[in-house]
Amino acid sequence: MNTTVLSLRGLTKRFGDHTALEGVDLDVTEGEVVVVIGPSGSGKSTLVRCVHQLESIDSGAMYLDGELLGYEEHRGGLRPLSPRGTAAQRRRIGMVFQQFNLFPHFSALRNVTEAPRRVHRRDAADAERDAAALLARVGLGDRAHHYPRQLSGGQQQRVAIARALATAPRILLFDEPTSALDPELVEEVLGVLRGLAADGLTMVVVTHEMAFAREVADRVVFMDDGRIVESGPPQAIFGNPTSPRLRGFLSRHNREVPA
């Protein structure tokens, strides 16, 4: 059995009266690719945003390599970590956003070198060499000196993946990485994700791409109404769904996007 990298226990998140996540338990082991599917508003994006501490959680706990995320023990209770402590934890988690969020005032290369240089205090030449290799890995070796505005959506998202890889995170989170892309650009990004999965990276991917989930996932998690309804290997989830909600979701999806 592999070691557990990420562990969520009873994760609950509310936005006002609306409960976005309710008692979510999830373990991700080293080298595992977990794909999270579910209808819009089911809480899948909120899940990865909570893990990355972009949203605060209301109850439950999250652990990265056994270390409590976002809180520390203090006088027999818990208190929120300092901003510095939170930043240190985030460095061990990589995140790729739906809207890419590249820094528009930096070139592609500089987007990738910024965190290694400023956060990990790496030498500029070293960081640039590694960044060039990462850009080559996502197929953009010749675009290093372009600014984000000069790149297509698919290219920007691939730069964003290289940027997330640059800090050698323990786990990579993808928040609908292809949802903002033109249909013909989706495949180039999914191709990069397949490569990362084959390289044995630990990943949690929130997506609407069922074919990708079926092909790449070690485990598929189906969420609805802020809960994990069903989870298991892709063959079971897609071939033999047990809950009516998952069956309904899959049939709706198959009608819209023939897989």
H-only helix segments in 150-239? 153-165, 183-198, 210-216, 234-239
Contact between 56 and another protein by CB under 8 A: the answer reads no
Name which of 4 and 101 has its Cβ closer to another protein.
Answer: 101
The angle that helices 124-137 and 108-118 make with each other, rounded to 10 degrees, is 130
Of 19, 147, 152, 231, the one binding another protein (CB under 8 A) is 147
C-beta separation of 198 from 33 below 8 A: no
Site string for another protein, 1-40 (x = CB under 8 A): ----------------------------------------
C-beta separation of 168 from 134 below 8 A: no
Scanning residues 73 to 132, which ones bind another protein (CB under 8 A)? 83-84, 87-88, 90-91, 93-95, 97, 99, 101-107, 114-115, 118-119
Name which of 121 and 255 has its Cβ closer to another protein.
Answer: 121
Helix (H, G, I), strand (E, B) or coil at 224: strand
Give counts: helices (H), strands (E), the chain.
9, 12
d(CA 137, CA 62) in angstroms, rounded, equals 31
Contact between 174 and another protein by CB under 8 A: the answer reads no
Contact between 148 and another protein by CB under 8 A: the answer reads yes
Helix (H, G, I), strand (E, B) or coil at 80: strand
d(CA 180, CA 223) in angstroms, rounded, equals 21
Of 143, 158, 163, 208, the one binding another protein (CB under 8 A) is 163
Name which of 55 and 215 has its Cβ closer to another protein.
Answer: 55
Which residues contact another protein (rule: CB under 8 A)? 52, 54, 83-84, 87-88, 90-91, 93-95, 97, 99, 101-107, 114-115, 118-119, 147-150, 163-164, 167
